[in-house]
Amino acid sequence: MAKEITSRSEDYAQWYIDIVKKAQLAENSAVRGCMVIKPHGFAIWENIRDQMDRMFKETGHQNAYFPLFVPKSLFEAEEKNAEGFAKECAIVTHYRLKNDPDHPGKLIVDPAAKLEEELVVRPTSEAIIWNTYRDWIQSYRDLPLLLNQWANVVRWEMRTRLFLRTAEFLWQEGHTAHATAEEAVAEARQMLDVYAQFAEEWMAMPVIKGAKTANERFAGAEDTYCIEALMQDGKALQAGTSHFLGQNFSKAFDVKFLNENNQQEYVWATSWGTSTRLIGGLIMTHSDDDGLVLPPRLAPVQVIIVPIPKPSEALSEAAEKIMRALRAKGIRVKYDTDMKNRPGFKFAEHEMRGTPVRLGLGERDLLANQVEVARRDTKEKTNVSLDGIADYVETLLETIQQNLFNRARTYRDSHTTPADTFEEFQHILDNKGGFVLAHWDGDGATEEKIKELTKATIRCIPFDGEKEPGKCILTGNPSAQRVLFARAY
């Protein structure tokens, strides 16, 4: 496999594209702005999905599925939500094609097959779900309703990048209904904690939890909470959001319940979501100029065994024994039986694909009762006895997982810088990048002006931020605490 990856220092954007394509994660499709997720990329998404699904179910949520199409009148019901997504909507207007009489072999839209009501291809599902919840919720006994769906959505993006921003992408969206505002807020915060735990413990990607400003809230939300991660180029990535929707959607769709005092009230709502964008975050957090680097917990193959120079009966027998021992510990392992390529090619291929641990096994190794162990994160190699190799690899995988997290956290912390003046703020953004902690006066107009001047946005108001009085970096007006700024994806 020819590597030829553009270096991060030379062109970070091209480096990212090279990784996605050469690690066989995804490629552009014939549909503008849409991607084909290849088996290796989809296997990573399956591991993300399966673990998050377990975590959702541990917090009492169930999965359901709702239609891809939303009647336009339903989509318009919650005005802020409709307005927020209007520019990204794809619309279905007709339901049939017919032969073009003037051009044989060509198809045209049948004007007689116009829909009575246009359908929006879901950019998000609040409208169709809350219209359904009206029939499901009658009494406090029906609450809380805790549902999630794994689905695809369409947002007609003009500028796209594989995984990070595509016209169609895969995601999960939770939609819950509650009897009180306090319960709904607790739900939204709980799910943000689930996202943060997943990001840090499974993706080895440190995140900062906080609240979005009014300007950056989800359309139709009373509050939006988020997790923000820092990529290796010093730009932020919003990795997950959770929204307290108040009663906006229940009022728009007339979803009421009879409380314990036999009085009718509007339901309180949340929604929360993450997407295949997480794979983009995974790439940009850990990978290097030799290819993809994957945290072991999400790697489709955690250990690859490469015979040197090629498979033989003795090597295959030894590999089978190693695999049985590793699989008994729940480790995902594969034996490379490719007869066409040399070991050096295979090493480069598995390095490119991000396999965390490589075992090189040759006839001399068998005679010495050892195997060469190479770790992807540090490129270190060592010879290890075949006796107890499973225990060694099990420990090594956890070591790699923790090392990747520590490395990413060290980078994040060293690129989180306070700024007290606008000049200092600009200098940090232009020369160092990363997160900038600075005072802001709470005015949306000030926020927009800072964005216009620097292309930096307020990523969040950190939950763990100290209440440190100061002066806004732009206006000099009073500020209660520093907020987190960055240029972002």
* Residue 251: both structure tokens together: 């009022």
Task: Give the pLDDT score at 241.
Answer: 98
- Find tokens 């060293």 and name the residue: 414
Residue 466 confidence (pLDDT): 85
Q: And the tokens for 202?
A: 């499974």
Other beta carbons within 10 Å of 47:
17
State how far the alpha carbon of 479 is from the alpha carbons of 97, 424, 440, 442, 487, in Å.
59, 17, 6, 7, 21
Cβ atoms 275, 157 nearer than 8 A: no
Integer Cα distance of 265 and 257 in angstroms: 6
Q: Determine the Cα–Cα distance for residues 276 and 360; give it in Å rounded to an integer.
A: 33
Split the chain (489 residues) into runs of 10 and give each run's mean pLDDT: 80 98 97 96 98 98 98 96 95 97 95 98 97 98 98 93 97 98 98 98 98 96 98 98 98 97 97 98 98 98 97 96 98 96 96 98 97 98 98 98 98 98 98 98 98 98 93 97 98
Identify the CA nearest to 280 among candidates 353, 208, 203.
203
Please name the residue that has the structure tokens 């232009």: 430
Quote the CA–CA distance of 326 and 315 in Å, as a whole number. 16
CA distance readout (Å), 476 to 146, 461, 487: 45, 19, 22
Rounded CA-CA distance 389/259 in Å is 61
Q: Residue 2: what pLDDT?
A: 47
Q: Which residues pair with 35 in a beta bridge?
A: 28
Assess contact for 202 and 298: CB atoms under 8 A: yes
pLDDT of 258 reads 98
Q: Which two structure tokens, joined as six digits, stand for 359?
A: 């075992």
- The C-alpha atoms of residue 133 and residue 145 are separated, in whole angstroms, by 9
Q: What is the pLDDT of residue 1?
A: 43
CA distance 187 to 173: 14
Q: HEC profile for the chain?
A: CCCCCCCCCCCHHHHHHHHHHHCCCEEECCCCCCEEECHHHHHHHHHHHHHHHHHHHHCCCEECCCCCEEEHHHHCCCHHHHHHHHHHCEEEEECCEEECCCCCCCEEECHHHEEEEEEEECCCCHHHHHHHHHHHCCEHHHCCEEEEEEEEEECCCCCCECCCECCEEEEEEEEEEECCHHHHHHHHHHHHHHHHHHHHHCCCCCCEEEECCHHHCCCCCCEEEEEEEECCCCCEEEEEEEEEEECHHHHHCCCEEECCCCCEEECEEEEEEEECHHHHHHHHHHCECCECCCCHHHCCCCEEEEEECCCCHHHHHHHHHHHHHHHCCCCCEEECCCCCCCHHHHHHHHHHCCCCEEEEEEHHHHHCCEEEEEECCCCCEEEEECCCHHHHHHHHHHHHHHHHHHHHHHHHHHCEEECCCHHHHHHHHHHCCCEEEEECCCCHHHHHHHHHHHCCEEEEEECCCCCCCEECCCCCCEECCEEEEECEC
Per the listing, tokens 């879901």 go with 122
In order of 31, 207, 304, the CA distances from 74 in angstroms are 28, 35, 51
Half-sphere exposure of 342 (CA within 13 A, CB side): 2
